[in-house]
Amino acid sequence: MAAVRNRANGNGVATQPKVSTPEQPQENIFLFIPNLIGYSRIVLAIASLYYMPLHPRTCSLLYSISCLLDALDGYAARSFQQSTKFGAVLDMVTDRCTTTCLLVFLAQAFPRFSIIFQCLISLDLASHYMHMYATLSMGGSGQSHKNVDESRSWILKQYYSNNKVLFTFCAMNEIFFIALYLLSFSSPLLSPTLLSDRNSPTSIQPGSPAAPKPSMFFTSPFSAGAMEMARANKMDSTVPWILMLTSAPVMALKQYINVVQMVKASQWLAEGDREARRQAGLPRPHHE
C-alpha cells in the first residue's frame, strides 16, 4: 500500500511536497482581432494622407473605409469577448488623429477660415482628453469613458449609451469634413482659384508657347502650384454639396456635445478638487 509521507526539515517540521499547477497561457492583447482592425485603420489613414494633396477620390475612399472600420472593431470586441482598455484608447487616439489631419488640410485649403478649423481641432482634443482624464481620476481606473451617469449629463448619456447614435454622429461628422475636402477641389464658390480658365491660351513671356505643360512650371508634384493644378482638374460638386449640407446639422450638434463634454468634465474634476482640499483641511486659517 502506497503511503504519502511527510518530510521533516532540519527543525523537525513536517512539510507537504509542492504540487505544480499548470500556468495559464498569457494572452497577447496586441494581437486581438479588434486591435488588428485598429492597426488597419491606421494604415488606411496614413495612405489617405499620402493621396490627400493631389488625389481627392482615392483619398476620400481610403479615409472613408478607415472610418467605417471604427464600427467593425467595436462589434468584433463584443463578439469575441476582446474588449480591452488598450483597444479603447487605440480607437479614440486613431479617431482624434485622423480627424485632426483632415482639418489641418482644410485649414490649408481654406486659409481664410483656418482659425475655425484650428478651434475645431482644439475643441475635439481638449474635450475628449478632459473627459477621459475625469473618468479615470474620478470614476476609477476600471470605469469606461462611455459609462456616463444620466444625472451628470442627459445628452452625454444618450450619446454614449446607444452605439447606433454614437456611430451616426461620428459618421456624419466625418462626412461633413470629407465633403468639404472634396469641395475644395470642385467648387469655385469655396475655392475662387478654380474659376480660372485653364484652356485659354496663355503666354508667360514673349516667345513662350501658349498653354505650356504643367511640368514646365511645377517639377515637384507636391508643390503648392501642383496642388492648384490638381484642383483645376474639375470634379462635379453636386454630390459633395448635398453631403455637406445634409450632414451640417449633425456636425454642429456634435461640436455642441464636445462643448458639453468638456464643461461637464471640468465640473467633475472641480468637485474632486474641492473634496480633496476639504479632506486636507484647506484652506488653512492664517494665524496673525
Q: Which three cell numbers stand for residue 79?
A: 463578439
Please return the burial class of 117, using the count of CB atoms within 10 Å of its CB with bins 0-12, 13-18 and 19+: buried
- Residue 284's SS3 state is coil
Q: How many other CB atoms sit within 10 Å of the CB of residue 141?
A: 8
Task: Answer whether 258's CB lies under 8 Å from 124's CB.
Answer: yes
What lies within 8 Å, CB to CB, of 78 at 6+ separation is: none
Whether 197 is catalytic: no
14 DSSP 8-state letter: E
And the C-alpha cell for 75? 462589434
202 contacts: CB under 8 Å, gap ≥ 6? 210, 211, 212
Integer Cα distance of 277 and 135 in angstroms:
19
Distances (CA, A) of 209 to 9, 36, 202: 103, 54, 8
Q: Which residues contact 182 (CB under 8 A, 6 or more apart)?
A: 56, 60, 235, 237, 239, 240
Cα–Cα dist 241/227, whole Å: 21
- Short-list 110, 125, 267, 252, CA closest to 194: 110
Measured CA to CA, the distance from residue 255 to residue 123 in angstroms comes to: 8
If we measure between CA atoms, which residue out of 103, 145, 140 comes closest to residue 122? 103
Catalytic-labelled residue, pool 70, 95, 149, 236:
95
Residues catalogued as catalytic: 95
